Amino acid sequence: MAEQPPERHDDWHRPLRHVPAADLSEKTTQSSGMRRLEAVSGKTVGAEKVWMGQAHVGPGTNSGNHHHGDSESAIYVVSGHPVFVFAEGGEEVRLTPEPGDYIFVPPWTPHREENPGSEEAVIVLARSSQEAIVVNLPPGSLTDQA
């Protein structure tokens, strides 16, 4: 007798979810100088492996030092000129992407977002966990966080 394919359950018919921009939630972990908005997560749509949202960094502000635990983060720069700061070899390194560019943040990597410009910076965030893990760190140089 031929082997039968495994029985398919209703995961093949789960509905897509639409999250209108007006429905983004601020009920997520925040850092000073940055406003995070949650779009796709376990709380909002029942996601199991991904978190996605956006952040707004006001002119002349920064997020403060933080990391995202064991989550990988991917960032897409929508508008403005944010600066991403991390430590490497005992020195602070500054990445200055333009709108349309992407940034990858490895798990556990302390960093901060800055906006030295005069316009708000808007970024789209995606993380490999269903929730927005944000561990805020003490102020100071990122080289002191090791």
Say what the alpha-carbon torsion angle 117, 31, 27, 124 is, to the nearest 10 degrees.
Answer: 40
pLDDT digits (tens, 9 = 90+) for 89-122: 999 999 999 999 999 999 999 999 999 999 999 9
Distance separating alpha carbons of residues 110 and 143, to the nearest angstrom: 9
pLDDT digits (tens, 9 = 90+) for 11-58: 677 888 888 888 887 777 666 677 888 899 888 888 888 989 999 989
Distance separating alpha carbons of residues 18 and 130, to the nearest angstrom: 17
